[in-house]
Amino acid sequence: MTQIGTPCTKKAVKVMLLGSGELGKEMVIALQRLGVESIAVDQYPGAPAMQLAHRAAVIDMMNPLALRDLVHEEKPDFIVPEVEAIATEELQQLEDEGFRVVPTAKAVGLTMNRERIRRLAAEQLKLLTSDYGFASNQEEFEAVVQRLGFPAVVKPAMSSSGKGQMVIHNDDDAQKAFDYALEAGRGKTGSVIVEKWVKFDFEITLLTIRHRQGVSFCEAIGHRQENGDYQESWQPHVMRPEILQEAKKMATLVTQALGGYGLFGVELFIKGEQVYFSEVSPRPHDTGMVTLISQNLSEFDLHIRAILGLPIPKIRLHSPAASKAILVSGDSNEVSFGNLNQVLAEEDTDLRLFGKPEVCGQRRMGVVLALGKTVEEACTKVKDSVSRLKINL
């Protein structure tokens, strides 16, 4: 039976977030509502989750000694990764010592490396995936590209939010993509994955929750990406029942293999009658931010409930809904947002500004949310709302 003590007392339940971006911020909000003590960790000060957590720490999470020292100092009940750039081998050692890593150290290590998770899905679980190959040097890369042909997608073995990802159509593209992937990849693995392009009908995120009572699913989320980065999402994405059932079966198999409790964002391609496994994240997914308005329990609430061992009796969709990312381009540490009266004038719309301290290049700084009688109506609302926003650098 789960018991939660008062934060900052001896009986407190303590959760350490490794990564404190917009997803971490919403997790801290969910933790605060349940009276759980939170420690937000990231590589830079003033990260969104740090602005709300009980305590914050700035460390290089790829540095195993720094990570170990902080964990032993704080002694959290749960260690919850929110980003990819973490010393995963150290997480495994900490788990072996008795610390609880969410969902498991094995799951974090596998999903944060595209080679490991692809081999698990395709070679061990025999799930349908696009054809692929891995390369750690120029010769291997050229051989993989020649075998797969064009078009194809090149990604770093470790990255997030589309960083380092590029679609290639010819040899010139291929060389640029290889250099870009190596430069942008996290963890300095020095390797890339090349995937044969699948001309899919659509792609979805199936939020899959492993908890003490079993496995639950949110309604499928459709989404649009550019260069691998989320632009907008909507829920539900309607599909034939038999296709959805196959997607759930695939999501169950891969999350079961990863183990532990928590919410997983399973990304899938749908082409005709076929469901292709793409990727999985062992935590809330950026496309799932639509659940902040669409459901009785958001993906963040669900993740925290599953972690703490609390019941998840029913996930209820309020109505069709959509989200659209607010992308800011430029260089500034004094970003401000205006015309908010017009942004929020539409009925059943909402706004989340993440509070990121600066932008350098392009950065996701917020999200607009809306309900509608149909998905199309909700998508129109968020597009119109974002178009009214005034961004000042």
The catalytic position among 22, 42, 267, 301 is 267
Query: 88-96 vs 64-74: helix axis angle to the nearest 10?
Result: 40
DSSP string, 282-315: SS--GGGGGHHHHBSS-HHHHHHHHHHT------
CA 53 – CA 24 distance, rounded (Å): 10
| Residue 286 a catalytic site member | yes
User: Are 209 and 251 within 8 A, CB to CB?
Assistant: no
Task: Please tell me which residue in 20, 160, 216, 323 is annotated as part of the active site.
Answer: 160
Which one of 5, 162, 228, 259 is the catalytic residue? 162
- CA-CA distance, 105 to 118, in Å (whole number)? 17
Point out the catalytic residue in the list 26, 203, 286, 301.
286
Please tell me the distance from the alpha carbon of residue 181 to that of residue 144, in angstroms, as a whole number: 15
Per the annotation, the verdict on 349 as an active-site residue is: no
Question: Residues 271, 277, 279, CA angle at the centre, nearest 5°?
Answer: 130
Catalytic residue among 246, 279, 299, 301: 279
Left (φ > 0), alpha (ψ -120 to 50) or beta: where does 154 sit?
beta
Taking phi first (over 0 means left), then psi (-120 to 50 degrees means alpha), and beta for anything else, what does residue 272 get? left
Tally of helices (H runs) and strands (E runs) in the chain: 12, 19
Residue type, 302: L
User: Is residue 380 helix, strand or coil?
Assistant: helix
- Which of 371, 309, 310, 312 has the alpha carbon at shortest distance from 346? 371
Catalytic residue among 19, 364, 366, 385: 364
Catalytic-residue membership of 347: no
Question: Is 267 one of the catalytic residues?
Answer: yes
Cis peptide before 320 (omega within 30 of 0): no
Q: Which entry of 129, 159, 287, 349 is annotated as an active-site residue?
A: 287
Q: Point out the residues that are catalytic.
A: 160, 162, 267, 279, 286-287, 364
